[in-house]
Amino acid sequence: MIGNSTPFREAWKHAALILGALIVILPFYVMVSYSLKSQKEIETNTGGFFGTQEQVVDQYCVKLGNPEEACKETPVIFNYTQAVKKAPLMRYLLNGVIVTVSIFLLQVVIALPCAYALSKLRFWGRDAIFNMVLFCLLVPVHAIGLPIYIMLAEISLTNTYASLIIPWTISVFGIFLMRQFFMTVPDDLIDAARMDGMSEFSIIWRVMLPTAIPALLAFAIFSIVAHWNDYFWPRIVITGDRSLYTPPLGLREFRGGADGSNWGPMMATATIIVTPLVVAFLLAQRRFIEGITLTGMK
């Protein structure tokens, strides 16, 4: 855009950008391609991107005493059904949804009234509370995982949904972001609502919430991306019960159990876990990038 660009220069720039793009895409290519191919094709690196889709025999199915004919499947179907059957992947995905959605809803329920009070209400100690919010912005939650874990363990809450959700219910960044947004909402709007006899509580949910949708959406994207992909925290608090595993933990489990002959199904699992957010991103790129960058300073 800036400066005088000759076609020659332009070509060099594209060459550099394409090379970068190839390196960035490589693991995605490998992941999807392996999830489509048979074990043999993966090992010998044949079959191109899609594999030949020549039928393979499910050895486990044969071991169960079924005739070989009945156990034949095309690799892509084999890989994806294995991914779902061998580990309770659907359960993991459901856990992922439960955990991410609960975290986001609780964050909003707690942050929104606080942000409203900090921006639109006058009361003694308000500045002190805001300073506390600013101070808490300095604390990276991942880094204090150990003491939070100790506290949860002392009250026997590890290996529960609660332990996956509670530490994330407070988002000081959410409070900060919402407060900044509410500061721009004219006081007249709130005064008008008060004249109409609305309580402070319903002003939050019926006046402020609807005006804050863009900021909330940005925050939702950030929160959901962070917690769907999080591996550190579930790894720490969920040690026993597989039925509480989140998607990344489930993938880890799959890998741990792999004896070197499960690459196809494992890559299918990885694809299933990565796809929802990537597809959402491709559909609404602009919003996602804005959302992540706006809130990325957590």
Site residues (CB under 8 A) for other proteins, limited to 73-102:
none
Closest CB to other proteins among residues 23, 64? 23
Alpha carbon separation from 284 to 287, 291, 294 (Å, rounded): 6, 11, 15
The pair of structure tokens assigned to 144 is 């204090």
d(CA 258, CA 216): 41
What are the E-state strand segments in 1-152?
A: 56-57, 72-73
3-state SS of the chain: helix, strand, coil percent to 5? 75, 0, 25
CB of 70 to other proteins, least distance (A): 30
Q: Which is nearer to other proteins, 71 or 172 (CB)?
A: 172
Q: Among residues 70 and 192, whose Cβ is nearest to other proteins?
A: 192
Q: From the CB of 103, what's the least distance to other proteins, in Å?
A: 12
* Position 64 contacts other proteins (CB under 8 A): no
- For Cα atoms 32, 249, 153, give the angle at the middle one, nearest 5 degrees: 165
- The smaller minimum CB distance to other proteins, of residues 84 and 277, is found at 277
- Least distance CB 38 / other proteins (angstroms): 13
Q: How many CB atoms are closer than 10 A to CB 230?
A: 21
Give the footprint of other proteins on residues 168-227 (CB under 8 A).
169-170, 172, 175, 194, 200-201, 204, 225
Q: Give, as one character, the DSSP assignment of residue 206.
A: I
Select the residue interacting with other proteins from 14, 85, 206, 242 (CB under 8 A).
14
With CB under 8 A as the contact rule, the residue among 53, 81, 160, 229 that binds other proteins is 229
Where does this chain touch other proteins (CB under 8 A) — which range of 2-10, 56-64, 78-86, 208-216? 2-10
Residue 118 binding other proteins, by CB under 8 A: yes
Kindly tell me which residue out of 57, 84, 136, 217 binds other proteins, with binding defined by CB under 8 A.
Answer: 136
Question: Which residues lie below 8 Å from residue 250, measured CB to CB, with a gap of 6+?
Answer: 87, 88, 89, 92, 269, 273
111 makes contact with other proteins (CB under 8 A): yes
Among 64, 155, 282, 283, binds other proteins (CB under 8 A): 282
| 56-57 and 72-73 beta bridge pairing | antiparallel
Burial class (CB in 10 A: 0-12, 13-18, 19+), 125: exposed
17 binds other proteins (CB under 8 A): yes
